Amino acid sequence: MQNVQEIEYLLRDVMSLYATQDEKKQAAAQAALKHLPKGGILGVGTGSTVNFLIELLPELQLEAAVASSEATAQRLKKLGIEVVDMNHVGGLDAYVDGADEIDRHMHMIKGGGAALTREKIVASIAKKFVCIVDDSKWVDQLGRDFPLPVEVIPMARSAVARKIVSLGGDPVYREGVVTDNGNVILDVFNLNILNALELEKTLNNIPGVVCNGIFAINKADIAVVATDNGIEERTAV
């Protein structure tokens, strides 16, 4: 006879509208389209959920896109979407991206794919930030389960790590990863992120830090969240 936990797991599985996490990501991507402008120039993020969205972007008949990574740029070009240099763009109607974690304030942790700096730069010139996630990324407090990525100038890696330790974090060098900007990543565990906005500023002020993965200054305006019961659109509370 199956135990209670097994039965509960099977019930949850049956009750979900989606069979897999990828199906949730696809649903979030599809639901995000209505929040994105047709035509014009769109800022496009990086990651597995965004990859599903990129396949749908031809529907928007975009004039062009600004990509947050070389990987995203290549995907866009394969679909015939022109990728333009951000220096030639005055602003963007919208930026769309996923997140490694997001909370009820629309603050996020990003950078699992090591594209955090370019993502933050592109997001900064957009009128609207649309975040697309499945509900596994929705958290009560940032940083408890997912380490905070920090992009660092290579020569400053050890110095930055010591500063982070003094703030209570446990930095781990991400072996074998070089960002599109030629830098390295420290993944910081055990940070108590109670004030995301202040911590984002504090980390950015450490000499040698290029950017950190807290998106509180450039928070999301709306989150399109795929749950077991369907799509939910959430804004900051």
Region 2-22 average pLDDT: 64
pLDDT for residue 10:
45
Q: Are 214 and 203 in contact (CB under 8 A)?
A: yes
Residue 190, amino acid: N
* pLDDT greater than 90 at residue 164: yes
Mean pLDDT in residue range 144-163: 98
pLDDT at 165 over 60: yes
Q: List pLDDT tens digits, range 136-149.
A: 999 999 999 999 99
For each of the domains in the chain, give its residue range(s) and CATH number, in order of start: 4-140+216-228 (3.40.50.1360), 148-209 (3.30.70.260)
Average pLDDT for 206-217: 98
- The DSSP-derived string for 144-207 is SSSPEEEEE-GGGHHHHHHHHHHTT-EEEE-TT---TTS-EEEEEES---S-HHHHHHHHHTST
Instruction: Note whether 57 and 76 are within 8 A (CB).
Output: yes
Tokens read off for 195: 């004030």
Catalytic residue among 119, 175, 200, 233: 119
Distances (CA, A) of 35 to 106, 149, 168: 16, 28, 39
pTM of the model: 0.91
More confident residue, 192 or 179: 179
What is the layout of strands, in order, in the sheet containing 101-102?
101-102, 108-109, 214-215
Provide the percentage of residues in the chain whose pLDDT is more than 90: 90
CA distance 187 to 35: 32
What are 78-127's pLDDT values in tens digits?
999 999 999 999 999 999 999 999 999 999 999 999 999 999 999 999 99
Task: State residue 192's pLDDT score.
Answer: 82
Bridge partners of 215, per DSSP, are 108
Structure confidence at residue 1 (pLDDT)? 46
Mean model confidence pLDDT for the chain: 94
* Catalytic residue list contains 119: yes
